[in-house]
Amino acid sequence: MDRILFGDNQFFAVNHLSDEKSRAQSIRFEKNEAIINVLDIALDLGIKTFMCTTHDRIAGICDHIRANPERYKEYKIFPSMPYAHKYANAVTELGIIGALKEYLPGNIFSTMAKGGLAYAKKDFIAMMELLIDAEMKMFRGIDTPVIFIQNVLTDLILGLGMKDIFLAYHQYIIKKYNAEPGYITMNLIRLLDTLESVGIKNPIICSSINKFGFRMSGGTDLYEKTIAERKFRPIAMQVLAAGAIRPAEAFEYVCGQKNIESILFGASTHAHIKESRDMIHKYSN
């Protein structure tokens, strides 16, 4: 993985501190051209990996990348799925069964009532595989070396204790897409324990890592100890704690955790992207 990953929150009106900024971002990035322009700024600054949700509008970005193969010949995308709002909206409009029929081809529901819990679990894994395939269609022909489960689903599976689902996901991503499975979480230590318990070694885990302990279940001391002593590949996100930490202080802290493999950040101007890139390079040396 590259040291620096570029995120997509700013494109889809995600701001953890300000609704006003979210509305402004929504207006600014109403058209795909505005998103592509920022991605090109990051690319020209040497940031060649885009980590994004499977938001419907990403399909248009992928179309642009495929249409310009020379420009994006070294470009990588790390998809993270599912985009929860898409499914929530579908459930609101179509109901649960209607939403599943919308995104899952064929009729797999007839088997759900047969065979008790074991059979139901088998079908759940089949649905997971079908949903992955549906989400991944937009990325055809694009290099996607790491494919993530979004934290909303990772932490739900974790809370339900359905650790066999993690193993099934892990094996499917490797077998079907020849990619590395990744996991986004707000519960780093518990997730790492769970993945190790089903035989998943040295997993890629993206989680909030910052000086203030923002969205870090267990706190900074436990995270620092885990990063220093345990075998996994950490990606740090939310390093600025939603703007509560000054960039220099934030990046110096995160880069000081020597085993962090990659740092994920989002920005929307040339100045901010360059500033973040330069600070990561400075404090990583």
pLDDT, residue 195, reads 98
**Least confident segment among 114-123, 139-148, 230-239:** 114-123
Tell whether the model's pLDDT for residue 115 goes beyond 50: no
Tell whether the model's pLDDT for residue 43 goes beyond 80: yes
pLDDT, residue 116, reads 43
Beta bridge partners of 241: none
Tell whether the model's pLDDT for residue 121 goes beyond 80: no
Tell whether the model's pLDDT for residue 123 goes beyond 90: no
pLDDT, residue 217, reads 94
pLDDT (tens digit per residue) in 1-31: 999 999 999 998 755 455 566 667 778 899 9
Where are the chain's structural domains? Answer: 4-82+145-284
Q: What's the average model confidence in pLDDT over 46-57?
A: 96
Q: What is the pTM of this model?
A: 0.88
Instruction: Say which CATH topology domain 4-82+145-284 has.
Output: TIM Barrel (3.20.20)
Percent of the chain with pLDDT over 70: 82
Q: What's the average model confidence in pLDDT over 43-58?
A: 96
Tell whether the model's pLDDT for residue 260 goes beyond 50: yes
For all residues of the chain together, what is the average pLDDT?
A: 89
pLDDT, residue 12, reads 86
pLDDT (tens digit per residue) in 126-170: 878 888 998 999 999 999 999 999 999 999 999 999 999 999 999
pLDDT, residue 20, reads 65
